[in-house]
Structure 1
Amino acid sequence: MTVTRQRTRRELGGLIAASAALLAAPAVLRAQAAARVVVIGGGFGGASCARALRNADGKLDVILVEANKIFTSCPLSNEVIAGLRDIGAQQFGYDRIAAEGVRVMLQAAVAIDAPAHKVTLADGATLAYDRLVLAPGIDLDFTALQGYDEAASTVMPHAYKAGEQTLLLRKQIEAMPDGGTVAIAVPANPSRCPPAPYERASLIAHYLKAHKPKSKVLILDAKDTFSQQKLFEQAWQELYPGMIERIPLSQGGRVTGVEVGTRTVITEFGNYNPDVANIIPPQKAGRIAVIAGAADRTGWCPIDAATFASTLVPDVHVIGDACLGGGIPKSAGAAQAQGKACAAVIARDLIARRIEPPPLTGVCYSLVAPDYAFSLSGVYQPKGDLFAEVEGSRTSPLDAPPAARANEAEATTAWFKALTHDAFG
């Protein structure tokens, strides 16, 4: 096993050196090369798209550009916050994708010249492309809440990009005295994984029930209703009676700002001083999408839903959380399905190979205790510039027995293993 692993690293080094040489080649030589697709963003959507493109035709030159050597998954990261899972179980590298023939560039893309079909990397190198796929995920809008910026997040963590923020929130909850309050500020939609804040509240309550039973969770919500609300509220009543309080939009729950020095959370109807403040700000498409000109004034990227082609920039496709998807959720499962479908479209256009795109599906599991979960799944199809949900969608029933909830908790882990294996090899 050791010999194989070393050989893979040497081969990867050779691929990177070869890519540098090709970048320096004259345009005439470049024109004779195989069609090239550059994918920016190595999350569930981008990694799946790059692998699917490579599998479609080995002659395609597929380059995956990702700033981070290690990807840290948001799905199941709420378990890390609650002390139920180690952060290492959330982390994945790109060695296997590189071994399959995808050229992995581990640095940031900093500029895109759409008319010239060129991407500039952080080290100054440039990549020409025939098609560009943007899968940048989300950025947090640090201008949306008064007083909340990136520096403030080191005191009042958002933990909505998994990694250091996840561990910071976990440490703050562990250090909180019994009888304290954890406040979670939830933004309005569109937002990454809309049920995630309520799953987080549930799992934090699970931790508090076991270790700090006099404590509570306060949800300050910029929405009046939310996905799977009845299922969550039923679970809270069954498992955590009196521990979780939610203040909706109509009752003054929308957070408008913070005062970091006093750990004050400001809403339209009053202020709160929780022991731990988890501030999830509004979101927008990842910055490279804005640089590319693919985001509109909403902060998100409009697309042709049938092809994922940007309606603003030619020969650019946008997948995953960054795009305006209509009925399809901003979730890992949906991003992965979009990545594969987008790869099928590009393969059809560039190499005239007919590949039947997979159905656009999205499934979301919400874990409210280690042995209690429910799910929401949907099937989507293009309708103009957006996706519409079609018949066949399913949500867990309210009257499901405990055994069914336990089965869905097991299914959550199985789903995650399948999702990450499919994306990262």
Structure 2
Amino acid sequence: MNTRTPELDRRRFLTGSLLIAAGAVVGTGCSTDPTGGSSGGRTTLNVWYHAYGEAGTQQAALRYATAFTKANPDIAVKVTWVPGDYAGKLHAGLLTDAAPDVFEIGDFDDGLAHRGQLAPLDDLYGDARADFGAAALDTVTVDGRLYGVKAVEDVMMLYYRKSVLAAAGITPPTTFDALAGAAKALSTGKSKGLYLGTDGAGDGPALAVMSTGGELVAHDGKVAFGSPQALEALTAFKRLHDEKSLLLGFTTDWWDPSAFTQGTAAMQWCGLWAMPAVRTALGDDFGVLPWPAFREGGTPVLRVGGWTSCVNAKGRHVDAAKTYVRWLWVQQADLQRDFAESYGLHVPPRTSVAATATALTAGPAKETVELARRYGRHYPGTWNTAVSTAFNAAAAKIATGQGDPAALLADAAGQAQSEIDKQLGR
């Protein structure tokens, strides 16, 4: 769930932990375990969540923990809500004595498995393994082992205002040239044609590369974004900046739909999670699109991410942690459906649960899910902070005309390859 509503965004959410023991909230504290690892003789699990922005999500996590301790009274659960730079805090926290026993990660990081930080979870799936979608399994598989259980899948796509495009005589774009042309034509004194994020990039550069039909990193760990096709797509992406078609510096980033719902941008890259808020604001006056194919021979792209529950292999309570993850994300179909449908909108990773998610069966939500099945792409597991930073920095300079594009991209590819080689021990 990547969305952040204005009233509950990461920057303003209160940091804290709540301890669930014997099925009830028994205390609050900071992000360290107030019980020293046990509560009345019980094992206490420290479970970390990033600060979801959808109203009610924290309360749902606490309800789930309460239900778990009722079913497993020997295991208490301390829910720790982590605001701000969750990934940075998680990586730092895993090096301390206060490290979580269970934690979620967004785009899966193979490096955590390679470093022995994640416990293999193959045994948790049992007969339910066949019910998880192929992508939900593939993204958490490293060297043939499963290192997480997907909690929700998040689909990211383009929203567009039907009435605004129709009034301008613009057909929803199906090529990058058409997207750039529409964004320029829809930019007026009061609004811009397209919003990709406060920095004018967001996922855009990566989408540009993938829309050529290419990869960011190949399956063998070889950097692929340095190709001539990628360079051409990134150079073309510069057009959006040159023509001043992008909304820049909005008060919320791309994961929040406010720029779109407030009419500040006619099109916005955002996520399925935001659709309930979009519908509340605009009714049926919106549609959804993939990022268009760069040109003939390319492919449209929707990005698929989400959140995965993992167990700290170096934690003190690995077996209890695995019990918790199995109970919540493998055994409790009703809770998975609640988590996917009641707080924003998401796709349950289990096929049987997704089939009963009524909010996904009609309209733009159904269309989004169908488009994701055809065109959904995940960031590669090697796409960690160092790799993505090298790529995004080069893409930003290319987009704003700071240096030779070929040299910038080649340098970024070299940096990324060195980092990936370290990850893979090569």
TM-score normalised over the length of structure 2: 0.27
**Structure richer in strand, relative to its length:** 1
**Structure richer in helix, relative to its length:** 2
Q: Which has the higher relative contact order, 1 or 2, with Cα contacts under 8 A spaced 6 or more apart?
A: 2
